[in-house]
Amino acid sequence: MAVTTVPVAAPPAAPAERERPRRRTSPTATVLLLLGAAYCLLPVLWVVIASTKSASELFNTFTFTPSVHLFDNIAFLSDYRDGLYWRWMVNSGIFAGVGAAASTLVSAMAGFALAKYDFRGKALAFNLVLAGVLVPSVILAVPQYLLLAKVGMTNTYWSVLLPSMISPYGIYLCRIFAAATVPNEVLEAARMDGAGDWRAFVRVALPMMRSGLVTVFLFQFVAIWNNYMLPFIMLGDDRLFPVTVGLSGLLNQGATQPAMYTSVVTGALLSIVPLVVLFLTLQRYWRVDLGAGAVKA
């Protein structure tokens, strides 16, 4: 018995997947970004290279080729007045670390209250915060000096720390972060479980706002570390100076002692190391899910 086979038509070929159009990069935008990067990085590169030069190389034959005098310059700077430079670095760490931590806590509490509570004068308070963002801190330095001089707190650590603890911009950011990352339902659930306002803020709101608080802390730390006008007005004892005011004094001495210019450049290089380390250490918190803290709380 013969068996006949019926040819089966091959299934129609699947239509070729359309290739997604590739986004074309704009040469103009690329050039502008490269110019912006060069504008920001060239001064840093100059400081790094200049800190390796001796005084004669710095003024006579400076090139972008590193020299071998970096450790000599660091040793000379460290020996200046029995290590006064490192005292300035410690002072900057105290001002920036304590001031940024206190400012972040105050900003978190104020921002959380503005975002999650209704009270009389709330709109006025928030408008005053916005107005404070627009006021440059330099304008407030002299009034703050006059107020602290009345209570005898000038030329102390507190004269720099107290004004640094309040940041209108930090309060504004925390208000935005609290409104965006802390659901009202989570707070209501915490209150139903018996948590009071303070416990709900500490155990629920703060973990959810962690990424935002890290941002506020970094902004404040950098702002206080680089602040010059406030400590310059408040402090008279050079052993209380932060590194910004101290290096300014060394720069003034360079007019009569040219060797101090290399110390100023070397000190400027060393002063940015803590900022780089801080950014590299805390940047991982920006990649953490904003709601992870609430799940763990």
Mean pLDDT of 105-133: 90
Residue 2 identity (one-letter amino acid): A
pLDDT of residue 209: 87
pLDDT of residue 192: 86
Concatenated DSSP letters for 86-150? HHHHHHHHHHHHHHHHHHHHHHHHHHHHHHH---TTHHHHHHHHHHHHHS-HHHHHHHHHHHHHH
Domain annotation covers residue 59: no
- Read off the pLDDT band of 84 (50, 70, 90): very high
Domain annotation covers residue 57: no
The yes-or-no verdict on residue 89 having pLDDT over 90 is yes
Domain annotation covers residue 134: yes
**CA 108 from centre of chain:** 16
pLDDT of residue 21: 57
Nearest to 74 by CA among 58, 56, 54: 54
Domain annotation covers residue 112: yes
**CA 120 from centre of chain:** 33
Domain annotation covers residue 29: no
Concatenated DSSP letters for the chain? -----PPPPPPPPPPPPPPPPPPPPPHHHHHHHHHHHHHHHHHHHHHHHHTTS-HHHHHTS--SS--S-HHHHHHHHHHTTTTHHHHHHHHHHHHHHHHHHHHHHHHHHHHHHHHH---TTHHHHHHHHHHHHHS-HHHHHHHHHHHHHHTT-TTSHHHHHHHHT--HHHHHHHHHHHHHHS-HHHHHHHHHTT--HHHHIIIIIHHHTHHHHHHHHHHHHHHHHT--HHHHHH---GGG--HHHHHHHHHHHTTT-THHHHHHHHHHHHHHHHHHHHHHHHGGGGGS-TTHHHHH-
pLDDT of residue 181: 87
pLDDT of residue 255: 66
Structural domains counted in the chain: 1
Domain annotation covers residue 200: yes
Domain annotation covers residue 123: yes
Residue 295, token pair as written in the block: 């799940």
Domain annotation covers residue 117: yes
The yes-or-no verdict on residue 292 having pLDDT over 80 is no
Mean pLDDT of 191-219: 87
Mean pLDDT of 261-268: 90
**What is the residue range of 168's domain?**
77-296
pTM of the model: 0.82
pLDDT of residue 290: 41
Residue 272, C-beta contacts closer than 8 angstroms, at least 6 positions apart: 44
Mean pLDDT of 24-44: 86
Are 266 and 77 contacting, i.e. CB atoms less than 8 angstroms apart?
yes
pLDDT of residue 94: 95
The domain that holds 192 is classified in CATH as: 1.10.3720.10
Residue 11 identity (one-letter amino acid): P
